[in-house]
């Protein structure tokens, strides 16, 4: 008998852990540079490209960990049919006949890479876009193999890995899944909240800014629940907290009319995921041409002056 068969839930947890870790490694490099380069001397002396080159091993490791995470998620889907499909051993060698000694699943040889892809395609439903998935997976597998089995390659760019992270997360869940998933992981860091829970929560914008920097406008639009090409506003909640620590000029606009029309009565914030009632009135600040005011607190959501 084969004992300790793995479950889809175990593979899913491992897969999502790896995918977030792969992302977090890159985000932390980018964020460290953004923070340090607020100092004008560092900004002038250390180009961002040099900082990424210095962190080349982190970029390589991120791609390897991403591949690992994608394999786990594929194994999750296969295991939903049966974990036995993951075994590479000849079936005549399986420890399943009554006179054979029991073995644990992890003592047996499991499939990887190309063979896993074949089995995965066999179990996936018709709704899964296998054509684009297979192309992307093969591309990722080849790049990962170059890093692991050879001396690698020179044109590895962190942006391409961020694009892959978002693509694969979307393939297994849906196009905007990454947003809630990253937000909850961002807040689950054990040291999160010890400085100031509300301000730290609003700093999720740094992660959104990093995604924005890595994706084209069109790609970003495909992976957001709102129309990114629409007008952008300040969030009454996030901006309130962020301006306790920063100037309003440095607070990015990640809130959008919902729906994207002049009749909209709400805005939706990508940072905190909140929805807020708005009303239309010309801003009292003469230098501002904003006309969207938060109903409850009376902030102009263009310049954040109180009305
Ligand atoms: Zn917000
Ligand atoms: Zn204003």
- Residue labelled with tokens 């790896």: 18
In this prediction, residue 155 carries a pLDDT of: 75
User: Ligand 1 centroid vs 190 CA: distance in angstroms?
Assistant: 22
User: Ligand 2 centroid vs 261 CA: distance in angstroms?
Assistant: 19
Largest separation between any pair of C-alpha atoms in the chain: 88
Tokens of 298: 């009376």
Ligand nearest to the CA of 183: 1
User: Ligand 2 centroid vs 282 CA: distance in angstroms?
Assistant: 8
In this prediction, residue 266 carries a pLDDT of: 96
Ligand nearest to the CA of 302: 2
User: Ligand 2 centroid vs 238 CA: distance in angstroms?
Assistant: 17
Ligand nearest to the CA of 300: 2
Residue 31 has phi, psi (to 5 degrees) of -70, -40
User: Ligand 2 centroid vs 165 CA: distance in angstroms?
Assistant: 37
Residue 103 host element (H or E): strand 103-104
Digitized pLDDT (tens) for each residue of the chain, 307 residues in all:
999 999 999 999 999 999 999 999 999 999 999 999 999 999 999 999 999 999 999 999 999 999 999 999 999 999 999 999 999 988 888 888 888 899 999 999 999 878 999 999 999 988 899 999 999 999 999 999 999 988 777 778 999 999 999 999 999 999 999 999 999 999 999 999 999 999 999 999 999 999 999 999 999 999 999 999 999 999 999 999 999 989 999 999 999 999 999 899 999 999 999 999 999 999 999 999 999 999 999 999 999 999 9
User: Ligand 1 centroid vs 203 CA: distance in angstroms?
Assistant: 10
- On whether the CB atoms of residues 158 and 25 are closer than 8 A, the answer is no
Ligand nearest to the CA of 283: 2
- On whether the CB atoms of residues 64 and 144 are closer than 8 A, the answer is yes
In this prediction, residue 154 carries a pLDDT of: 74
């Amino acid at each position: 008998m084969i004992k300790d068969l793995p479950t889809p839930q175990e593979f899913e947890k491992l897969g999502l852990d790896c995918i977030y870790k792969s992302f977090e490694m890159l985000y932390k490099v980018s964020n460290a540079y953004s923070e340090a380069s607020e100092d004008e001397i560092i900004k002038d002396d250390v180009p961002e490209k040099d900082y990424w080159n210095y962190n080349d091993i982190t970029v390589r490791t991120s791609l390897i960990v991403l591949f690992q995470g994608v394999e786990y998620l594929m194994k999750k889907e296969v295991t939903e049919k049966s974990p036995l499909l993951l075994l590479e051993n000849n079936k005549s060698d399986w420890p399943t006949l009554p006179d054979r000694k029991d073995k644990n699943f992890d003592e047996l040889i499991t499939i990887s890479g190309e063979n896993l892809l074949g089995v995965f395609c066999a179990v996936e439903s018709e709704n899964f876009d296998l054509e684009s998935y297979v192309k992307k997976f093969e591309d990722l597998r080849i790049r990962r193999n170059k890093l692991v089995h050879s001396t690698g390659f020179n044109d590895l760019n962190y942006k391409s890995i961020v694009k892959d992270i978002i693509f694969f997360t979307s393939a297994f869940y849906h196009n905007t899944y990454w947003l809630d998933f990253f937000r909850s992981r961002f807040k689950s860091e054990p040291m999160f909240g010890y400085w100031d829970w509300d301000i730290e929560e609003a700093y999720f914008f740094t992660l959104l800014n990093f995604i924005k920097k890595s994706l084209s406008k069109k790609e970003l639009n495909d992976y957001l629940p709102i129309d990114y090409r629409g007008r952008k506003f300040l969030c009454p909640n996030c901006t309130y907290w962020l301006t306790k620590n920063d100037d309003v000029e440095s607070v990015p606009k990640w809130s959008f009319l919902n729906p994207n029309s002049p009749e909209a009565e709400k805005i939706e914030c990508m940072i905190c995921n909140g929805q807020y009632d708005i009303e239309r009135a010309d801003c009292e600040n003469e230098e501002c041409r904003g006309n969207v005011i938060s109903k409850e607190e009376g902030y102009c959501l263009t310049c954040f002056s109180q009305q």
